[in-house]
Structure 1
Amino acid sequence: MIRPQNKNRRHRNISYTKHLFIIQLFFVFFLVSACNPVITFLSFHPDDRYIIPQTLLPKGMEEVFIETKDGVTIQALYLPHPSSKRFTIYFHGNAGNIYHRIHDYEKLHKLGTSILAVSYRGYAKSEGYPSESGIYLDGKAAFDFVKNIIKVSEKNIYILGRSIGTTVAVDLAQDTDIGGLILISPLSSGQDQASFMGLGFAAQLATNAFQNEKKVRRLKAPLLVIHGNQDKIIPIDFGLKVFKAATSVRFFYEVKGGGHNNLTSKFGDQVFSAVSDFFSKTHNTK
C-alpha cells in the first residue's frame, strides 16, 4: 500500500533543498569575492627577515626609500654606474627579497648599467602587504623615481622582471617609451598558471590576474624573453606565448637545461650574455 507523504516531511525536504542551494550560492560567491586574496596568498611569499646591513652591501650600493601613490613607503637598492647612461630597474620573483639577488645586480652593473632593485610592499624593509594591484603601484613609483628624481630619460631606461616580477615589468612597460624590456621566466597569465598548478575551478576565477600575454601586445619597446626549457614552475611554453604576443622588436633566448630558480646561479654566463647582446642590439633602436 502506498502511504501518503507526510506534509511536514515534504516541507522539511523543500526547506533542506532551499538551504542547500543558499549554502552553495554563498560558497560560489565566497570563491569569487575571495579570488584576489587567494591569488595573493598563492602568489607572494615575502621575506622581511633577511636583511644585509648597509655597511656590508657592495661598494657604491645604497638604500633608498620611495613613497607610492597610495602612501606606502617601499625600499630599493640603488647602484649607480659612473660612466653609463643606461639604467635598469629590476623586479624580483615572489620569494625571498631584494637582498637575495645582489649577485645579479653586480653582474648587470658590469654590463654597463645603473641598477634600481625594487622591494615590493611587504618584502624586506618595505611597508604594507603584497597584492597584484599593490606591486603595480610599487613599479610605477620606482619608475617615476628613476625618471623624475634621478633624472634618467625614458629611452635610457630598461625594465627587467623575473618570474612574478615580469608582471610588474610588463604592466609598467606597456605604456612607456623605454629602451627595452627584459623578461626572465615570465608567466603568460594568472589563469594559465593556476591551470598548470592544477587549481581547477579556481583557475576560472583568475581570468583577470597577471595578464602578461594580453598587456605585452601594447609594448612599443624592444623585448627580450629568457626562459629555461626545464622550468617546472613556469613552463617555457608560457614564455613563448608572451614572446609571440608581442609586436615590437623581439628576441627569445632558450636556456637549455635551465630550470626556474637556477637560471642566474647555474646558467648566469648564458643569461647575462644574452642581456649584454640585447643591450648592444637595442642601443640605437630608439
Structure 2
Amino acid sequence: MKFLSSLASRSHSGYTRLIKPSVRNSKVQAIISILGKLFCCIAEYSPHALLLVTVLYKTSKDHPFIPILDDVPRYVFVTSIIILFLGVLYKCQDLLLYHPSMPPSSRVYVPLPPPNIPYDDVFITTSDKVKLHAYFIKQQENEIQDAPTLVYFHGNAGNIGSPSYIPLYMTCHVNILLVEYRGYGKSEGSPSEGGLYLDGEAALLYLFDRQDINIRKVVLFGHSLGGAVAIHLATRSEFADRIAAVIVENTFTNIQAVACHLFRNILPFVSYLPRWAVKNKFLSSQKIPDIQCPLLLIYGDSDEVVPSEMARALHEASRNPRSAVVEITNGTHNDTWCVTPLYRISIALFLRKVFDLTEDRTEPISSEESVSLSWEWQNAVTDSTGFF
C-alpha cells in the first residue's frame, strides 16, 4: 500500500495532458479501440478457456497417446496462455476498484447518524430490482422543505457510515441522502460501472417522489468514485433540468488516467494496458462539458490516490461559467473534509450563491462575459470574509 501511495504522490508536469488523448492519429485510435473491444470479448470467457487449455495440456502430458497439443506451435500456445491470463486479470478488475469490505466490518456494520440528527433508514429499489440501503438525513420539520437536499455518493470503499457528511449538515443546513452502492454495506448485488449509474438514478427518483422536500433544490455530491457517478447523472437528459448544482471532491478524469498514474513506474508496458484493456472507465472528463448547472470542484493538494491536477483538468474541461475550484491545503484523499474549515465554508458559500441568486442567469453570449461570470462564481466561493 505504501508503494502505491508513493507512486500516487508523484506529480504530473501538467494537468491538461490528463484529458487529451495520448494518441492523436485517428486511425491508430480506431485500431486500439477495435483491439480493446476484441480483448474485452475474449476476457468474458477467459477463465473458462484458461481452465480448458490447462486441462488439455495436463492431459496431453499424462497421456502421450492423446496428441492434442503436439501440432500446436509452442509460441502460439504461450501467446494464448498470456492472452487468457490477461483476460482473467481483466475480469478481476472489479476487485481492484471496488472495496466494499474495507474496513473488514463494512458489510455488516453501518454506523448510525448521531442521536441529535433526525434521519430515515430507507431501502431503495433500482430499475434492475436491486435493493439499496440509504439514510435520509433531514433538517428539523420546520426547515426540511426550504433546505437544499444533497445526494451524497461515497467513494470506492466503506459505506455510508463515514462522518464526513456531518459538517455539511451542520454548516450548510442541508438534507442529505446517503446512498450505499450495490454490494456495499446493507445493499444487495455486486458493484459495476453500469450498476452504480443505476443506483444513482434510483436515488434521484426516490428523492423526486418525496413530498417533504423542495425537489428544485437537489444537489449532487460525490467523493472520489462518487464524483464520477454525480457527473454522469448531471449529464443525463432526464435529470439535467432537475439538478440544481453539482459538487465533486477528490475525483478523477477517468479510471484509465488513474491506473496509468499509479502503475507507470512499475513496468513501462503495464502503464499502457489501462488505455485499452480497462473494464470500468468512468469517463468524467468527456462528460463534464455537458454539465450546465453550477459546478464546484474541491481537491486536497496532498491527495495520495488521485493526482490533484485532475481536479484542475476537470475544471478546464468543463468550460462552465458557473463553476469554481477550491484547493484544500494538506488535504489527503480521505480527510480533505476535516483538515480545515475552508472545506465546509466553501461548500456553504457555493450553495448560497446557487440558491440566493435574485435573477435567472442565461448562458453567456460572449467569451468576455463568460470569463467575468467565472470569476464571479470563483470569488463567491473563495471569499469567506462575509461568511462569519
Q: Is the 8 A contact 2:193 2:280 kept in 1?
A: no
Counterpart of 1:72 (choices 130, 143, 148) is 130
| 1:262 Cα deviation after fit | 1.4
| Partner Cα distance (1:33, 1:167) in 2 | 26
Percent of residue pairs bearing the same amino acid type:
28
Higher share in strand: 1
Change (3 A) 1:154 1:202: farther
Over aligned residue pairs, what C-alpha RMSD do you find?
Answer: 2.4
Are residues 1:124 and 2:197 paired?
no
Amino acid at match of 1:107: P
Deviation, structure 1 residue 50: 2.5
Partner of 1:217: 289
User: Which residue does the alignment assign to 1:109?
Assistant: 169
Give, in angstroms, the shift of residue 30 of structure 1. Answer: 5.6
Separation in structure 2 between the aligned mates of residue 135 and residue 126 of structure 1, nearest angstrom: 12
Aligned equivalents of 2:213, 2:77: Cα separation in 1: 57
| 2:274 paired residue number | 203
State the TM-score, normalized to the length of structure 1. Answer: 0.85
- Measured after TM superposition, the shift of residue 57 of structure 1 is 5.0
The reply on whether 1:162 has 2:204 as its aligned counterpart is: no
1:250 corresponding residue in structure 2: 323
Tell me, in whole angstroms, the C-alpha distance in 1 between the residues paired with 2:84 and 2:232. Answer: 29
Contact kept, 8 Å, 1:191 with 1:207, in 2: the verdict is: no
Number of matched pairs: 269
3-state SS in 1 of match to 2:246? strand
8 Å contact 2:260–2:274 — kept in the other structure?
Answer: yes
Is the aligned partner of 1:174 residue 2:245? no
Q: Which amino acid aligns with 2:95?
A: F
**Which residue of 79, 86, 90 corresponds with 1:24?**
79
**SS in structure 2 at match of 1:45:** coil
Cα distance in structure 2, aligned partners of 1:150 and 1:91: 22
Q: Is the 8 A contact 1:190 1:207 kept in 2?
A: no
Residues 78-122 of structure 1, C-alpha deviation per residue, up to 9 Å, x if partnerless?
A: 012231241110001111110123xx3332222121110000111
Deviates more, 1:176-185 or 1:194-203: 194-203
Q: Distance in 2 between matches of 1:174 and 1:154?
A: 18
Greater CA drift, 275-284 or 257-266: 257-266
Query: Which residue number corresponds to residue 108 of structure 2?
Result: 49
Q: Partners in 1 of 2:194 and 2:160 — Cα distance?
A: 20
Aligned match of 1:3: none
- Residue range with higher mean Cα deviation, 181-190 or 26-35: 26-35
Secondary structure, counterpart of 1:238 in structure 2: helix
Q: Go from structure 1 to structure 2 and tell me whether the alpha carbon gap of 1:16 and 1:274 turns closer, same or farther (over 3 Å shift).
A: farther
1:171, distance to aligned residue in structure 2 (A): 0.9
Displacement, 1:148? 2.2
C-alpha distance in 1, partners of 2:82/2:350?
A: 49
Distance in 2, matches of 1:138 and 1:112, equals 25
Alpha-carbon shift at residue 266 of structure 1 (Å):
2.1
TM-score of the pair, normalised by structure 2: 0.64
Deviates most, 197-206 or 107-116? 197-206
Displacement of 1:142 in angstroms is 0.2
Q: Is the 8 A contact 2:207 2:215 kept in 1?
A: no
Deviation string for 1:112-168 (max 9, x for gaps)? 211100001111110111111111111110011111234755531100000111111
Q: CA distance change for structure 1 residues 17 and 150 in 2, over 3 Å: closer, same or farther?
A: farther
